[in-house]
Structure 1
């Protein structure tokens, strides 16, 4: 007699219910708006943006106000002559180093860590590159957030602690939606940023045309002697060249550059030049402007410790155009716009 269990039909395995959190996670991963192929090759089907759009998005990183702070610090520590020479040489070196990196990223759709791996350094080299790059973005994210926090304190009286928190958290919704939303944000804010930056420069040049000559003919160093000195020039150049790591963020955007099209190759190369090493041009100008505006702030009674703060530089500059109250408001608006533009990139690059 067969056993009783022989006639029992096998039951299908119970299916595990899909939790709403799990379903939402898979939906987010499948969304190309939220997932920008971080640490991976960017397929051609996703490189659908125009070359001009990608270049404009990458060019938006030139807004960061640490450039002005670096220029002012170099002037005060190493003198006007050494600071100007170091800034100009650093700009040339960064452009030459960044050009092949940006071309490779735009042509092959890969970012810095994959470029490192493909260049023969392997997984270890790629890991070290990612570590260096992530450290750079985290440090500059904190520095840029601090500049914005000081602007909020200057204009609204918000304590630095809350200002740091607000400055850091406000960019997260923009960064999480990837290059699509970041591109729109950079496009909308680019004219406003340029106007707010150039207006105080022109106001000072019109109202006080001798300010540039006074700056160039005065050694602003605190501890150094007058004139050019090789050691101080080398020290200033070392500080300025730390900004070469910025090319990694350019590559993060340029990997979305569309392939070249016959008859429009010049547009592709122009877009890569503007979105890649092109940031060095306004970057050098902003560092020189920072040294100049810091000297102007010193002339208007700002102490050396605060003259390197971009908030104080532009407040003094805007007072050549507006009343003190409106100058503070314009400075705060300019700083907030500038820092949002760069920190959305720092947050995006840090997650990528």
Structure 2
């Protein structure tokens, strides 16, 4: 055995067991299966933590924007389409994450994309995180300017810097933050809306009769789909939900009901709460336009929406305080998730491409810098265009993965039912998902910019959904599923799953970094009579430990 064959780039691993264990705690198993020994939270805590990540106020701005553009009726139908699509596509993804304790990138690898193919989708997801970080940061800066007179540029910087220390310790801190802030956030958001409906019942009629800023809000299928397209830019939110759901405890007969309840609520069920917030945002915008002087100029800004309602029943100073508090709490709750998930996505892609693991915190900084640049460029003013364009990419990815799981795995049984993510076990590129996503995204973006004619332009979301749904089974049948697995056995004669179908917690020693990891994270080493962990395989520049193809 040569020295080169034995050498593995162990930048990913610390030099001693104790340091490595500490690093994994900080890194939150960025590129790995989340081990049972780390998943000590209850289903309830994991579920509430995941739902805490949807506290963003962007939904209020999105609902207001599509309502102002297309009228209440078209906006409501668009929101309904958004909710149905998100729930249907999010369910199989959330189930796989909670059941097998892996994030959406690891799911994507084995669901038709291949080991390197999912790098593209990781970049799509990372883009989602900094777009929405910038959007939420802009809303917080608006609140700071209104309440404290802080200049916008300084508010952008403050809303960015406050997030960094909160995300350093990953799930351990985030779960506590989300659980403890959720009751206050719910009260600050729900109470003023309930007051408005009860004390101003005429606002309900105003809401349903609102025709949009140009008075052309007649029911139109094209306008409905344009509204849905903006909302569907949130489709990648399921990946952020999954970054929490991968820490669900094993499902057993004793906790099955609780496990399913929280998996559904915190997984695809997030869209129910998101749709409600969009409708409330539109409702508040219509109220401001109809009842407040110059209300139309600030109707799509959540801080002004809530400030005007608070001022109806409390002193001005208290109304301002609560409005700013709501904005700050909401921004922190969602942007810790945006920053956390973005750091995972960037790190994952960089490590696979370069075979070097810089650590999650490096890309936490990168993600925050990109978001700050977007905020300083005033992206809030171009919200509909940015989100409408992004929706085509996000929908293509998520729908393709959902199609592979639901159709290719369970219906056609061409794709392996158990997920696989480890290097050496997968082909570099699987055309089933990779080509399906590129075609679905490319054609829908072409339609979005009018390349297929103005008649088809409003239907670009539908193009992405339909192509993302039908192309994976077509490619799977055409290729006979031969590009899913490079190997059908990882060389370890120990079961991967227990009697309840959960990943086992048997620990094996990685010869490269000298640390023990659980069985699902390990593969037999080609050059040693031992095992190697998935991260050391990812950083093996010589590929000396990678098992050969069958």
TM-score by length of 1: 0.90
1:165 Cα deviation after fit: 0.7
Equivalent residue for 1:245?
Answer: 236
* 1:316 alignment counterpart: 308
Instruction: Flag the 1:40–1:202 CA change in 2: closer, same or farther, 3 A.
Output: same
Pairing of 1:193-342 with structure 2 (within 5 A): 193-219=185-211, 221-223=212-214, 225-298=216-289, 299-342=291-334
Instruction: Find the aligned partners of 1:217 and 1:232 in 2 and give their Cα distance.
Output: 16
Q: Alpha-carbon deviations, 1:40-65, whole Å to 9, x = none?
A: 21111111211111000001122100
Give, in whole Å, the separation in 2 of the partners of 1:274 and 1:154: 35
Q: Shift of residue 125 of structure 1?
A: 2.5
1:176 equivalent to 2:157? Answer no
Which has a greater percent of helix? 1
| CA distance, structure 1, for counterparts of residue 306 and residue 20 of structure 2 | 42
- C-alpha contact 1:117 1:126 (8 A) present in aligned 2: yes
Cα deviation digits, residues 64-103 of structure 1 (max 9, x gap) = 0000000000001111110011011211110111111000
Question: Structure 1 28/197 Cα, relative in aligned 2: closer, same or farther at 3 Å?
Answer: farther
Q: Secondary structure at the match of 1:123?
A: coil
Report the Cα distance in structure 1 between the residues aligned to 2:21 and 2:59, rounded to whole angstroms: 36
- Return structure 1 stretches of 4+ with deviation > 2 angstroms: 26-33, 302-305
**1:65 alignment partner in structure 2:** 57
Q: Distance in 2 between matches of 1:38 and 1:71?
A: 34
Q: Does 2:178 correspond to 1:149? A: no
What CA RMSD, in Å, does the superposition of the two structures yield over aligned residues? 1.7
Matched position secondary structure for 1:277:
coil
Which aligned pairs between 1:81-100 and structure 2 lie closer than 5 A?
81-100=73-92
> Do structure 1's residue 39 and structure 2's residue 50 form an aligned pair?
no
Structure 1 residues 23 and 323, CA, compared in 2 at 3 Å: closer, same or farther? Answer: farther
- Give 1:27 shift: 3.4
Query: What are the Cα deviations for residues 197-234 of structure 1, in whole angstroms up to 9, with x where unaligned?
Result: 01111121222122112111221x12362320111111
Instruction: Answer whether contact 2:196 2:309 (CA < 8 A) is retained.
Output: yes
Deviation at 1:28, TM superposition (A): 7.2
Instruction: Determine the C-alpha separation between the residues in 2 that align with 1:212 and 1:78.
Output: 18
Question: 2: CA distance between counterparts of 1:129 and 1:272?
Answer: 23
Structure 1 residues 23 and 301: alpha-carbon distance in aligned structure 2, compared to 1, 3 A threshold = farther
Unaligned runs of 5+ in 2: 1-13, 345-550
| Alignment match, 1:6 | none
Distance 1:39 1:302 in 2: 50
Residue 260 of structure 2: SS of its match in structure 1? helix
Distance in structure 2 (CA, Å) of the matches to 1:162 and 1:338:
19
| Deviating more after overlay: 302-311 vs 173-182 | 302-311
Distance 1:88 1:323 in 2: 37
User: What does residue 344 of structure 1 align with?
Assistant: 336
TM-score w.r.t. the length of structure 2 is: 0.58
Structure 2 CA distance for aligned equivalents of residues 323 and 217 of structure 1: 31
Instruction: Identify which of 132, 137, 161 aligns with 1:140.
Output: 132
Q: Match of 2:98, SS?
A: helix
Task: Tell me the SS of whatever aligns to 1:37.
Answer: coil
Looking at structure 1, the residues matched to 20 and 313 of structure 2 have their Cα atoms a distance apart, in angstroms, of 48
What secondary structure sits across from 1:46 in the alignment? coil
1:227 counterpart SS class: coil
In the alignment, structure 1 residue 79 sits paired with structure 2 residue 71: yes
The equivalent of 1:103 in structure 2 is 95
> Secondary structure of the residue that 2:167 maps to in structure 1?
helix
Number of matched residues? 329
Instruction: Judge conservation of contact 1:141–1:346 (CA < 8 Å) in 2.
Output: yes
Q: Distance in 1 between matches of 2:193 and 2:70?
A: 24
Which residue does 2:183 correspond to in 1? Answer: 191
Matched residue, 1:54:
46
Q: How far off is 1:277 after superposition?
A: 1.4
Counterpart CA distance in 2 for 1:28 and 1:291 is 49
Q: Following the alignment from structure 1 to structure 2, what is the Cα–Cα distance between the partners of residues 124 and 272? A: 28
Q: Is the 8 A contact 1:207 1:320 kept in 2?
A: no
**Higher CA-based Rg:** 1
The gaps in structure 1 that reach 5 residues or longer are 1-21
Does the 8 A contact of 1:74 with 1:236 survive in 2?
Answer: yes
Q: Which has the higher contact order (CA 8 A, sep 6+)?
A: 1
Per-residue deviation, 1:303: 4.1
